[in-house]
Structure 1
Amino acid sequence: MNYNNQWLIEKYQRKDKIKYLFFWGHGESTSGVVTQSCLSQWWVAPFRENGITYPTAEHWMMAGKARLFNDEAVLQRILKARTPAEAKKLGRQVRLFDPAVWDEHKSNIVIAGNLLKFSQHPDLKEFLINTKDRVLVEASPVDTIWGIGMKSDHEHVENPLRWRGQNLLGYALMAVRDKL
């Protein structure tokens, strides 16, 4: 399934029953129970691919960006980044960056990283699978690409026609859920 805002808007306009799961932030619960925070790119859940450990899915995404544009120097710095914020900052320094090329590849990069993350952590995999057919929504008030540009308590949060963002992360996670 190719999930996107157009797909969701069509469901919404048909008045299909839609169940949402909103998430934003990456803090662990104090009880140790896995919550929707695990859906964040910044959630610390190290995973391995080809002998390389990625502390977060954000590290994977930024490393993928550096690889896409053949920036080995920035790639090596991303792989050594201590935090997802540092990895993100380094990702903005990738040389020869072309937004059109990035737009073509970014969702598949995020899907691949999250497939690794969730398949290598049984507790996270179980959480994601148990979201069933819910529409996963990154309710970030500041991110209009990976999120919807509004918080989960916004009066229009359940109306995709009013979203300010593309929710690419939510849709990528739904694609991962389908593959698991």
Structure 2
Amino acid sequence: MSNTVELPRTAAEAVALEATGRSFKYLCFWGHADDRGGEVGRGCLSQWWPGKFTEDGHRFATAEHYMMAHKAWLFGDAAIAERILAAGHPAQAQKLGRQVRGFDQAIWEAERFDIVVRGNIAKFGQHAEALAFLLATRNRVLVEASPRDRIWGIGLAEDDPKASRPRTWRGLNLLGFALMEARTRLNS
């Protein structure tokens, strides 16, 4: 008998599994500040967590820098990618990512999830304490409880009672599911 727990990989799957009576333990996060007195905590799950890492000779200040640089490279905008890599804060990287020339929404939607998974594999693979935290989340459904983000988060705050019920989420929780995929790959 397998100890594998079937976890949802999308918000739609979470709703469907919930409708069959399945329940899950959720770990909500939002923001990059750690909440464990100097130890790595939920903040490491954020794309803005200040954990530098490298890939293919490029240095990324945060996973947000990684996502935005790869967005620029996807559309052939090397100039914006270089500015993103040099950005001093993830908010600057994010703003530059919105200026990518040649952007195509359909292509981005097809590629964004895998880009974020790869970025988080690189990030956690190069930070042992953060990796230990991620792996310790085990079979929890990771939920970016951002009240402002309906794509990468759930569009609800952690203290909202709807945050633990996927059918009431206002967002896709792409970051939470990308982190879960990274966790699976890093754990194998």
- Same fold at TM > 0.5: yes
Counterpart in 1 of 2:34? 28
Equivalent-residue separation in structure 1 for 2:182 and 2:36 (angstroms): 27
CA–CA separation in structure 2 for the residues paired with 1:29 and 1:10 = 32
TM (normalized to structure 1)?
0.97
Alpha-carbon distance in structure 1 between the residues aligned to 2:161 and 2:22: 20
1:106 and 2:106 are equivalent in the alignment: no
| Aligned with residue 23 of structure 2, among 17, 26, 45 | 17
Identify the match of residue 144 of structure 1 among 134, 140, 150: 150
Stretches of structure 2 lacking an aligned partner (at least 5 in a row): 1-6
- Is the CA contact (8 Å cut-off) linking 2:145 and 2:156 kept in structure 1? yes
* Number of residue pairs the alignment of both structures matches: 180
Quote the residue 1:52 is aligned against. 58
Deviation at 1:11, TM superposition (A): 1.7
Letter in 2 for 1:117: K
Query: Where do residues 166-177 of structure 1 align in structure 2 (5 Å cutoff)?
Result: 166-177=172-183
Q: Deviations over 1:7-36 (max 9, x none)?
A: 111221112131000000111347211111
User: How far, CA to CA, are the matches of 2:8 and 2:136 in structure 1?
Assistant: 20
Are 1:77 and 2:83 counterparts? yes
- Partner-residue secondary structure (3-state), 2:96: helix
Cα pair distance change 1:159/1:69, threshold 3 Å: same
Specify the SS of the correspondent of 1:156: helix
Q: Which residue of 1 aligns with 2:128?
A: 122
SS class of match (1:21):
strand
More deviation, 48-57/164-173: 48-57
- Partner secondary structure for residue 157 of structure 1: helix
In structure 1, distance between residues paired with 2:36 and 2:46: 17
1:42-71 Cα offsets, whole Å, 9 max, x none, are 000000111111010000000000000000
Counterpart of 1:4? 10
Ranges of 4+ aligned residues in structure 1 off by more than 6 Å: none
- Structure 1 CA distance, aligned partners of 2:166 and 2:90? 28
Q: Is the 8 A contact 1:2 1:175 kept in 2?
A: no
Match of 2:159 in 1: 153
Deviation at 1:75, TM superposition (A): 0.7
Structure 1 stretches lacking a partner, 5+ long: none
> Alpha-carbon deviation of 1:142?
0.2
